[in-house]
Structure 1
Amino acid sequence: MITVSTDGSCLRNPGGASGWAWVNHDGSSASGGIASGTNQVAELSAVLEAILAHPGPEELRIESDSQYAIKCASVWVAGWKRKGWRTASGGPVQNLELVQGIERAIAEREGKVVFHWVRGHQGDHFNEKADVLAGTAARAAKRGDVVVTRTGATTPVGAGARPAPAAVAAAAEPDFLF
């Protein structure tokens, strides 16, 4: 089983610079940022990027401190899809593109994906590391830097589902695009 911790960060919610990160418990990681988003967008982005970066037959366990992201990806998604991507009250699903991306990535992944909630900011090493990386990515996005950083990963971010972002770095130091 592959275990990955994910986290998102938004410096001003909503509309502030946001960052996402995943940390594989083998030590590899990836993170990235956007200039304007929400905490939910950041959390969902982290989950999506983690799934895309870990293709293959092994079970993937995603640990997150976001109950929203976990429920979007594993509980609510089936009902939303059945209802034509509408909520129980008939309204539109928020962050639909990300939710559909997660649903598609899980469906296309050979191995099973399971989710586990962890309490945030309580000393879980991998959750804390993902939190730091997401915050760093959000601050870089606030400065106007478009950054995606990858360390020690054996597969590219976005493998198999869409092209990898242009700014993916193969080492711990980020590449910057202006």
Structure 2
Amino acid sequence: MDAVITVSTDGSCLRNPGGASGWAWVNHDGSFASGGIASGTNQVAELQAVLEAIRAHPGADELRIESDSQYAIKCASVWVTGWKRKGWRTASGGPVKNLDLVQGIEQAMADRAGKVVFHWVRGHQGDHFNERADVLAGSAARAAQRGEVVVTRSDGADETVPAPRPVAAAASAAPARALDADLLF
């Protein structure tokens, strides 16, 4: 039987929508990465964290992603199938929000030899790895707010990258609201 790699992810947005955002993943073996986005949303940051976690953990071992974002989990594991079948449209016929990230996650999962599974954890309830991801994502968001967009990795291979240009609000800023019918397939 192959091993299971467990990774916790989190995203942070300092002013939702449109504020500086951060993403992070923390492998339960202690390795991690985080990065900032100059302008985004909580949902964008959560999806970016999932995408980065999948990309950072290739291989045949099962990857278990723990997240406190039901939106990110459902985008990646439930809704994506229906959206793809409907030409990347929601049940109401509207465009899928954060499509580039959703498609990136779908592709990263397809490219991975091992299965990816998702598990929801309640945020801010003392889960060590979720709390660590939250701290890293918040720090990355604050760095992005200062214009210091740094991708931080536990192996010390940090890199400073130019701040991404803000994405047009209509193209990527999903409303900060609970899961709703227009997101469903």
What TM-score range do you get, normalising by the shorter chain?
Answer: 0.7 to 0.9
* 1:21 alignment partner, one of 5, 21, 24: 24
1:142 aligns with 2:126: no
In structure 2, give the amino acid aligned to 1:41. Answer: V
Q: Where does the alignment leave 5 or more consecutive residues of structure 2 unmatched?
A: 163-185
Matches within 5 A, 1:1-178: 1-152=4-155, 169-170=156-157, 174-177=158-161
In structure 2, give the amino acid aligned to 1:70. Answer: I
What's the secondary structure of 1:48's corresponding residue?
helix
In structure 2, give the amino acid aligned to 1:64. Answer: S
Which ranges of 4 or more aligned residues in structure 1 deviate by more than 2 Å?
A: 174-178
In 2, the alpha carbon distance for the partners of 1:34 and 1:3 equals 25
TM-score normalised by length of structure 1: 0.87
CA-to-aligned-CA distance 1:88-119 (integer Å, 9 cap, x gap): 00000000000000000001100000000000
What's the secondary structure of 1:119's corresponding residue?
coil
Deviation (angstroms), 1:69: 0.0
Deviation (angstroms), 1:86: 0.1
What's the secondary structure of 2:7's corresponding residue?
strand
CA-to-aligned-CA distance 1:116-162 (integer Å, 9 cap, x gap): 0000000000000000000000000000012100104xxxxxxxxxx
In 1, the alpha carbon distance for the partners of 2:105 and 2:33 equals 17
Query: Sequence identity of aligned pairs in percent?
Result: 84
Partner of residue 178, structure 2: none
Deviation (angstroms), 1:175: 3.8
TM-score normalised by length of structure 2: 0.84
Q: Where does the alignment leave 5 or more consecutive residues of structure 1 unmatched?
A: 153-168
Q: CA distance change for structure 1 residues 142 and 110 in 2, over 3 Å: closer, same or farther?
A: same
In structure 2, give the amino acid aligned to 1:110. Answer: A
- Name the Cα RMSD after superposition: 0.9
| 2:66/2:120 contact within 8 Å kept | yes
| 2:11/2:134 contact within 8 Å kept | yes
Deviation (angstroms), 1:177: 4.3
In 1, the alpha carbon distance for the partners of 2:6 and 2:37 equals 25
In structure 1, give the amino acid aligned to 2:69. Answer: S
In structure 2, give the amino acid aligned to 1:176. Answer: T
